[in-house]
Structure 1
Amino acid sequence: MIMRKMLLGAALLALTVTSCVSLPTEEVGTPSGSDDAQSGGVIKVGILQPRSLDPADASDPASQLVVRTMCDSLLLTDAVTGELVPGISDEWTPNANYGGTRILLSLREDVYFPDGTQVDARTVVDSLSRLAREETAGSMATLLRDVQGYDHIRGETEDPPDRSTEYLTGVRVSDPFGLEIVLPRLEDAGWVRRLANAATAIVDDEAARADPLRFARQPVCAGPYQLAAPWNPGDPIIRLVRNEHYNGSPAGYTADGAGYADEIHFYTFATPEEAHQAYVDGWVDIVQPLPAERAAISEAEPDNYVTGNDPLMVYVGLPWQPGNLFEDPEVRLALSRGLDRQAIADTAYAGGAVPATGFLPPLVGPAYHEDACPDQLPAVPDTDSAPAALDGQTVPLYFYDGYPANALVADQVVAAWAAYGLTVEPTPLPEEDFLAMAEGGFDGPFLTGWDGDRMGTPEEYLQSLVVTGEAANVARFSDPVLDRYFINDVTPFGGQAGPGLDVEEEQLIALERAEQRVCELMPVIPVVSMRSHWLVRAEALGSARESVLDRFGEPALREVWVEPQPTEEATTDAPTTES
């Protein structure tokens, strides 16, 4: 799955929490909202049909949006800053050392499922174990792969200890509202950010065991909203109503995290065209615009058009083999410097992307550096230093033929590299052939996209892209020195950055050094960082925060409030469904 997403630039999964770890301090408080914000009303959102509403299997953008709106996780991500803030857990202490990592969490005592059942440490153990359990078969289980006992609960060991196939042995109750998570082979204090992923939302495992089929249709979680009725794939509307037993999560949201709308309706559609038409017809007030119409829509509806971050970046992969043309770092750097990234963003993506300035997307928060690679990724193309090895050479440029933008990017690459005397032959391939070539190894440059998949940290995002043997390293680049630096310094706890620095500062410094080294080696060529685009009907909706989109480019629906509308203006054409 990772390779398919990496190569085809598939829709982002919206499950990474990719800002650097932020430890709770006395400064964490309730975000302030707009004075105009008011409660009540219904928010209507147009989305593609979700795969699942069970947090353990919510791997696509639509599923993640519904789950993130409905459920709370142990930790949350501030919609504006991207920092970790308390959720169901009000305190957490990650402790990384040479023996692994231990995370101590204290739980709030006022958290309840919609039926009034209190959430305690035992509930959390059951819920996280369910996510990892083999029989649950959730697509997001690998988020917990570093937890002690993961191999037992997944059925990957012979003669596992008693009960270890039912419960993660590395998630332990320390007191009724305290627990410990043990990561025996991972020295990474930043792992804790995975506990803010929507997939780790705390659910009622007892209800799931009692009636698995019903739970799949109507999962029970601790959060501000709940499903009004069981949901079946293909149902035209997903209706969320308030959880009357919700007591808030004040650090992550305004209005104590309870949301402003009385109900949130997700209208589901088979195609983006159908979803967009529903917005045009007034059925929904929030939807993603069609890429081909972004420029026209942004000009026609400037008050309704909003953009934000996106985890997806587009790269040109360079097949790396000892002795081939692309083994020489000077060749790779010259090819990078020759690209006109602004022209690619304008012509291929019509404003839907911005030129890449490094290897990490902007949404990684404090780990993002606006000019991480100024010499290697110049704002203005630089073709003055042309390696002689390129002159007179001919190479293919492979890309998946399912996205029109890929052909436009290829045209720009052809024109740019011609300045070096290099002839580039655009070679579009259908999905099956493209993936088959990737398995066997590309023999020429190729276009690829990477959104971090399930990577939980900026370190993992970068490591998976460039370290030998990693899933996203499709170019098969290999540099032993770089590998050792990631393994020994970046992944553990940011390396020893210096006296007086806390874990976060060490991580940031080590990651910055790693990205600088990657810039010098240029294992793949960053081209553009994508942007998230949404239409939000301004006359119908307001936002309690600065933007209606969160730091990850998704609608922060708990921060959206409904403008009162005269009853005679209400639409009568909205699709309906039995609840």
Structure 2
Amino acid sequence: MSKKLWLTLLMAFMLVLGLAACGGTEDASDNKDAGKTEDTTSGNDDSKEEETPAQDTLVFGRGGDSVSLDPITATDGESFKVTKNVFNTLVDYGEQDVTIRPSLATDWQVSEDGLVYTLTLREGVKFHDGTDFNADAVVYNFNRWGNGTKDQFYYYGSAFGGFGDEEKHIIKEVKALDAKTVQFTLKKPQAPFMQNLAMSPFAIASPAAIEKYGDKFNENPVGTGPFKFVEWKRNERVVIEKNPDYFVEGLPKLNKVIFVSIPDNSARVNALLSGEVHLADGLNNSDSNQLTGNLQAINRPSMNVGYLGLTVTRGPLKDKLVRQALNHAVDKQGIIDAFYGGQAIPAINPMPPSIKGYNDQVADYPYDLDKAKSLLAEAGYPDGFEMELWAMPVPRPYMPDGQKVAEVLQASFAQIGVKANIVSFEWATYLEKARAGEADSFMLGWTGDNGDADNFLNTLLGGSNIDSNNYTRYDNAEVNELLAKAQSSNDAAEREDLYKQAQVIIKDEAPWIPLVHSTPLLGASANLTGFYPHPTGSDKLETVEFK
């Protein structure tokens, strides 16, 4: 055979192989019958169509990537969206509410003085690495958090204090009484203690995996949850797969979940329409008219607030009158009409009206440009001033289009002489820099973690949470005292009154421009069932399936 002919045949053979390869699927496991040929060994044509395998992979389109997959180091909803399905907390919330239910703990008793909590743990549970879940693992996790630093474990500081300040550290001791019993002893009562234990950041991780991966544990999460971590390609996708040893029989229903990051809302909607994703959140409410036919619209129970933070330690924003002026310059209803499709209400206080302790007697700053100019002149800025306005780079339930809302705010402030220069950053950098107090004004929001007023007012505006979740660096001694009293009181009526008093002061001092409380919109394939969006924004996907 000549060399030329041999090369020609080889190229033809390679072309055939290439065409065959192109006929496959991206994931062969989703098409197990691909490549099968009809059995022609028999003279009779008795071949039968094989039943199509049930769809067992969910592609979840979301607006941004996770920041960390170690739940205790995360503060963002995109991270908790994943970790909620890889880890379990000691106790959990109800299907679509914040009532406390068993999880890794099956029972608990509280002493009469509210200082000792004794939890009975579920037996026979293993972490995804095969090691045992037991009381020692719980103690290990809490010791890790309590002996860390505020810039490591933001949520621990917000909920329990600590980090070298023993006076503010609420937890005195966490002790394993035996393998299946763990006891928490507090220094003072904490009304939302059980609510806090159910929060996503306080999920229990494998001690062995933490020791193995060290600082890289946030990229190699190991929990006890319904799904096991597979891979994370940053700004692209996170893949988790079924945990066959999950302690709830028959769950999860799905074999795999792929979280894909699609920051642009239109692209995310188009991916849903084309079937590239089966579930998408952070949608503009105006997109609901597209969610018909083979799609369904889903509303998340609302428990959020979107706001513009005014960092009280920076330039003209140090002056309360300036902050009040900026509040008067914002037409909240106009923003809602333009971007929320009517599925939001103007925010007055830093927490939604559904939370106990909300003060409905607090009046909002009316949209009044003349009043705003008058306050600026009184503060010594008759010609206005210049500042930065940070626009959110990712859609969130309370802020579906941060850039466009920022442009409206910019135009509003220009009417009173304030030049607001819009800037933004990648999401993780945005959060880090805003937390450090580097922004003049910044767009952000909060979806409640546990349904308690403490989780809004103390977490977001308590002085002890500066460098944590208090991004405006607001620190008022009277407010701090009211919040501390409310946290340690077991009298529900007293707590509500204290929170109402705090809201009056916060409104006057205006560290925020509260913007909206939204009803977040999600879209899904019409045949997707068993999805119950949670008001905390952290959704358990173990019951999801396709019909």
Do they fold alike, i.e. is TM over 0.5?
Answer: yes
Moved more, 519-528 or 454-463: 454-463
Distance 1:523 1:317 in 2: 5
Equivalent of 2:360 in 359, 372, 385: 372
8 Å CA contact 1:356–1:377 kept in 2: the answer is no
2:224 aligned counterpart, secondary structure: coil
Displacement of 1:356: 0.5
8 Å CA contact 1:259–1:560 kept in 2: the answer is no
The residue type equivalent to 2:482 in the other structure is Y
Residues 481-527 of structure 1 deviation map (CA, whole Å, 9 limit, x = unaligned): 3343334x22322xxxxxxxx54454334323322443355443322
Displacement of 1:66: 2.0
The residue type equivalent to 1:124 in the other structure is V
Equivalent of 1:451 in 442, 446, 450: 446
Equivalent of 1:126 in 136, 140, 143: 140
1:395 aligned counterpart, secondary structure: coil
Distance 1:194 1:355 in 2: 28
Distance 1:180 1:83 in 2: 21
Higher relative contact order at CA 8 Å, sep ≥6: structure 1 or structure 2? 1
Equivalent of 1:512 in 500, 506, 529: 500
Residue of structure 2 in register with 1:404 after alignment: 404
Distance 1:71 1:467 in 2: 29
Distance 1:358 1:190 in 2: 21
Number of matched pairs: 465
Is residue 489 of structure 2 the alignment partner of residue 486 of structure 1?
A: no
- Which runs of 5 or more structure 1 residues have no equivalent in the other structure? 1-38, 158-167, 249-257, 416-421, 494-501, 564-579
Displacement of 1:92: 3.5
Distance 1:524 1:81 in 2: 27
8 Å CA contact 1:225–1:241 kept in 2: the answer is yes
Residue of structure 1 in register with 2:348 after alignment: 357
Distance 1:212 1:320 in 2: 36
Structure 1 residues 399, 270: CA separation in 2 closer, same or farther (over 3 Å shift)? same
Is residue 331 of structure 2 the alignment partner of residue 340 of structure 1?
A: yes
1:406 aligned counterpart, secondary structure: helix
Residue of structure 1 in register with 2:383 after alignment: 394
Q: How does 1:274-289 map to 2 (within 5 A)?
A: 276-288=269-281
8 Å CA contact 2:357–2:499 kept in 1: the answer is no
Residue of structure 2 in register with 1:561 after alignment: 545
Distance 1:324 1:63 in 2: 31
Is residue 120 of structure 2 the alignment partner of residue 109 of structure 1?
A: no
Structure 1 residues 207, 138: CA separation in 2 closer, same or farther (over 3 Å shift)? farther
The residue type equivalent to 1:307 in the other structure is N
In terms of Rg, which structure is larger? 2
Distance 2:311 2:215 in 1: 47
2:107 aligned counterpart, secondary structure: strand
Give the percent of matched residue pairs that are identical in Structure 1 and Structure 2.
18
Displacement of 1:312: 4.6
The residue type equivalent to 1:46 in the other structure is G
1:528 aligned counterpart, secondary structure: strand
8 Å CA contact 1:347–1:408 kept in 2: the answer is no
Moved more, 80-89 or 188-197: 188-197
Displacement of 1:216: 6.5
Residue of structure 1 in register with 2:419 after alignment: 425
1:305 aligned counterpart, secondary structure: strand
Residue of structure 2 in register with 1:163 after alignment: none
Distance 2:348 2:422 in 1: 27
The residue type equivalent to 2:487 in the other structure is T
Is residue 267 of structure 2 the alignment partner of residue 265 of structure 1?
A: no
Equivalent of 1:86 in 93, 102, 116: 102
Displacement of 1:73: 0.8
The residue type equivalent to 1:287 in the other structure is A
Structure 1 residues 427, 96: CA separation in 2 closer, same or farther (over 3 Å shift)? farther
Residues 134-169 of structure 1 deviation map (CA, whole Å, 9 limit, x = unaligned): 5xx9976343348999658xxx99xxxxxxxxxx98
Moved more, 100-109 or 451-460: 451-460
- Give the CA RMSD over aligned residues: 4.7
- Which runs of 5 or more structure 2 residues have no equivalent in the other structure? 1-53, 394-402
Displacement of 1:261: 1.8
The residue type equivalent to 1:552 in the other structure is T
Residues 283-311 of structure 1 deviation map (CA, whole Å, 9 limit, x = unaligned): 320123665xx52x322225623333364
Structure 1 residues 41, 313: CA separation in 2 closer, same or farther (over 3 Å shift)? same
The residue type equivalent to 1:317 in the other structure is L
8 Å CA contact 2:310–2:323 kept in 1: the answer is no
Distance 1:360 1:87 in 2: 28
Equivalent of 1:307 in 281, 292, 299: 299
Distance 2:225 2:126 in 1: 8
Distance 2:444 2:215 in 1: 36
Displacement of 1:72: 1.6
Distance 1:265 1:334 in 2: 47
Distance 1:211 1:464 in 2: 30
The residue type equivalent to 1:225 in the other structure is F
